[in-house]
Amino acid sequence: MRVDIVPVGDVSAATKREASAGLRSIYECEVSVAAEQSVPADAYDESRGQYRAEAFIDLATRVGSGDKAIAVTPEDLYYRRRNYVFGLAYLDGRGCVVSTYRLQTSSDGGFSARPAEDVFADRVRKEVVHEIGHTLGLEHCENNRCAMNFSPTVREVDLKEETLCGTCQRTVF
């Protein structure tokens, strides 16, 4: 399997590196990085000040060349009635998206002893593993340590690991 990372907007080199490393280590896949794409202006909702997540999945699917394509963006995303999302994927789809916008938020989970860049890097890895997991058919997992656990806040992201639990692993491999 090859996963193509599609940067949408100004994505830092560190973010691309962490996303690649996370995907390689968990899925043992090849990872490529596509050319940077401009943010789809028609996906912007002025009243919310946020972008519609589905448009980023469409863009990744169109531009990305891999078996799977994941858009990574610093922009703030929403989906339907949810105030924000860290990412979005369709089950068994080819494309998905991760937004780093709210992953910068400081956690109140007692992880303040670690440097902010390290905490951020871990979150990026966990969220890309999570969204690609959905594209491989994984649904949300009850195990709060598993990368497929539904984690709507950074606190919950910080509590889980970047790895898949045994049950999720057996489903994918």
Q: Residues marked as binding for Zn(2+)?
A: 130, 134, 140-141, 146, 165, 168
> Toward Zn ion, which CB reaches closer, 3 or 168?
168
> Toward Zn ion, which CB reaches closer, 121 or 168?
168
- Non-local (6+) Cβ contacts of 122 within 8 A are 158, 162
* CA distance linking residue 83 with residue 88, whole number of Å: 13
**Total residues in contact with Zn ion, by rule CB under 5 A:** 6
Residue 70 structure tokens: 């994941």
Contact 136, 146 (CB under 8 A): no
Instruction: Find the Cα–Cα–Cα–Cα dihedral 138, 155, 124, 145, rounded to 10°.
Output: -40
Catalytic: 131? Answer: yes
Q: Residues at the annotated binding site?
A: 130, 134, 140-141, 146, 165, 168
The region of 52-60, 76-84, 108-116, 146-154 touching Zn ion under the rule CB under 5 A is 146-154
Interaction of residue 97 with Zn ion, rule CB under 5 A: no
Min dist CB 172 to Zn ion, Å, is 10
Q: What are the counts of helices (DSSP H) followed by strands (DSSP E) for the chain?
A: 5, 9
Output b/e per residue, 151-168; b: 16+ Cβ within 10 A. Answer: beebeebbebbbbbbeeb
> Toward Zn ion, which CB reaches closer, 10 or 92?
92
Give me the DSSP letters along 129-154: HHHHHHHTT----S-TTSTTS---SH
The binder of Zn ion chosen from 124, 141, 154, 157 (CB under 5 A): 141
The region of 16-24, 56-64, 117-125, 145-153 touching Zn ion under the rule CB under 5 A is 145-153
Which entry of 75, 127, 131, 162 is annotated as an active-site residue? Answer: 131
* Contact residues: Zn ion, CB under 5 A: 141, 143, 146, 148, 165, 168
**Mind telling me the catalytic residues?**
131
